[in-house]
């Protein structure tokens, strides 16, 4: 099961981390964020996947797939 | 042993991730980076520690301690 999340602000990155940490792939849709917030979430996600040797793929301009 | 690192650019965040992933505490000194790059490294580090339920503490304005 892939968890689909569409964060509405920077703090909601915690949900992304929460499901990823549980071992679920997360499809992160950043369409509702400003350019700056979107960049922050991508940097957070980069650290998240690095820590667990997972992968981060950009599937569309504002859509990223994190895999544990 | 605490690993002390002073990244010179964004790419060197990989060293931070490398030692942290090995289970070492990392003291990350961002003094040599621009404000924007420093922010990116902090977001990356936030994701890194979140993935492993570690901690991130700001010990000085540009100095952060990551603990696994």
Q: Are B5 and B26 in contact (CB under 8 A)?
A: yes
CATH of B3-67, one of 3.30.70.1290, 3.30.565.10, 3.30.110.150, 3.40.50.1580: 3.30.110.150
Domain boundaries, chain A: 3-67
- Its ipTM equals 0.94
Which of B13, B39, B47 has its CB closest to that of A48? Answer: B47
pLDDT of residue A60: 97
Whole-structure pTM value: 0.95
Query: What's phi and psi for A42, nearest 5 deg?
Result: -65, -40
Q: Tokens 């679920």 label which residue?
A: A24
Distance CA A39, CA B10 (A): 14
Q: Which of residues 41-60 of A touch B (CB under 8 A)?
A: 43-53
pLDDT digits (tens, 9 = 90+) for B41-57: 999 999 999 999 999 99
Considering only alpha carbons, which residue of chain B is nearest residue A15? Answer: B50
pLDDT in tens, chain B (68 residues): 999 999 999 999 999 999 999 999 999 999 999 999 999 999 999 999 999 999 999 999 999 999 99
Burial class (CB in 10 A: 0-12, 13-18, 19+), A30: buried
């Amino acid at each position: 099961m892939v968890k689909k999340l569409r964060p509405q602000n920077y703090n909601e990155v915690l949900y992304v981390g929460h499901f990823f940490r549980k071992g679920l792939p997360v499809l992160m849709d950043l369409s509702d964020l400003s350019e700056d917030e979107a960049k922050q979430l991508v940097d957070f996600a980069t650290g998240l996947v690095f820590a667990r040797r997972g992968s981060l793929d950009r599937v569309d301009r504002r859509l990223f797939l994190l895999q544990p």
